[in-house]
Amino acid sequence: MSNTDPTPHRPRVAVIGYGSQGRAHALNPRDSGFAVTVGLRAGGPTSIKAMADGFSVSTPADAVAGAEVVAVLTPDMVQAELYTKVIEPNITQGACLLFAHGFNVHYGQITPRADLDVVLVAPKGPGALVRREFEIGRGVPAVYAVHQDRSGNAEKLALAYCAGIGGARQNAIRTTFKEETETDLFGEQAVLCGGATKLVQAGFETLVEAGYQPEVAYYECLHELKLIVDLFYEGGVTRMHEFISETAQYGALTRGSYVVDDNTRAQMRKVLAEIQDGTFARQWIAEYKSGNANYQALKQADLDHPIEVTGRKLRAAMPWLGDAPQTDAKASASAPKAVAGRAEPASA
């Protein structure tokens, strides 16, 4: 970890992209005193949104040309072409190229020009949370990395930027492009998105196949998962044990390893190996370039799963769900309370 105070110099920043992360990476540094330009295609919906937030929007090429730090906040799969066609021909010699995810640099899709500093600053939370925590005087923890240090000040620039978005209000952890990329992909695939989704669907299917009502299966395998995740988020496994019944604890301790066993761990190691050796990256890049037909089919199968049909019907009767910021669901931090042996979210 680093508690180093970042340099007081606030470099001119060009933010390329204005999605969830891009908006936070533009607004927070501006509020911290940085001169921020947003580079976007003219007339697009994100351009209109950025102008509504008070930014003078330039073309990406013009924004890049005047910046000391160029923050690339576009989706992974468009970054390589963006770098080749727009950033590299226009970025000032000796400037700093900044990423929020190391995918393209780590897997060789982008080879940054030799004269540039190249750094990574990755908040550990979605953009809406990064913005919200900044506005109330806190910050989302972040990791940072240095890939190229041509100026001798790349780490200071990364930390200054990290401070600008609020990440240095927590202890910023130094990492590498390799570690950030591989652990991020592994978490998404094995646990947070892939693993959790398949676990929930399999649990639902098991109960329905055994004759239980789909609605009850939905509540037990998906709806109540948020209650446990909130406890994990706030205080780890320790807090979960504090707020669930002894019956739930005993069942978890004695039966959890039925599901997550040595075979599961072997499969997780396989997932990690395919990330480490580039297999996943090559497959995803090839899929994107070929038009995403397989990706779209797999995604549609998820959206058509019976648990989604059941869930849409049940959620229609839960109007309070609309009160939560839906684009930021994983960042929920409401304090749960134990009710009848189960964790229940505190009322707002």
Q: Which residues are annotated as a binding site?
A: 18-21, 41, 46, 127, 184, 188, 220, 224, 245
Q: Which residues are annotated as a binding site for Mg(2+)?
A: 184, 188, 220, 224
Helices 20-31 and 154-165 sit at what angle, rounded to 10 degrees? 100
Count Cβ atoms within 10 A of the Cβ of residue 158 and give its class: 0-12 exposed, 13-18 middle, 19 or more buried: buried
User: What is the rounded distance in angstroms from the CA atom of residue 77 to the CA atom of residue 66?
Assistant: 25
DSSP assignment letter at 84:
I
Q: Which helix H or strand E contains 313, and what residues bound it?
A: helix 306-315
Q: Which position among 9, 25, 101, 241 bears the catalytic label?
A: 101
Beta strands in the chain (DSSP E): 13-16, 36-39, 57-58, 69-72, 96-99, 117-123, 142-148, 173-174, 336-339, 342-345
Phi, psi of 345 (to 5 degrees): -65, 140
Q: Which of 203, 232, 218 is nearest to 333 (CA)?
A: 232
The amino acid that residue 135 corresponds to is E
User: What is the rounded distance in angstroms from the CA atom of residue 248 to the CA atom of residue 91?
Assistant: 57
The amino acid that residue 117 corresponds to is D
The amino acid that residue 52 corresponds to is A
> Does 101 participate in catalysis according to the annotation?
yes
User: What is the rounded distance in angstroms from the CA atom of residue 53 to the CA atom of residue 49?
Assistant: 6
Q: Which residues are annotated as a binding site for substrate?
A: 245
Q: Quick count: other Cβ atoms within 10 Å of Cβ 124?
A: 15
Q: CB of 230 within 8 A of CB of 345?
A: yes
Which residues belong to the active site? Answer: 101
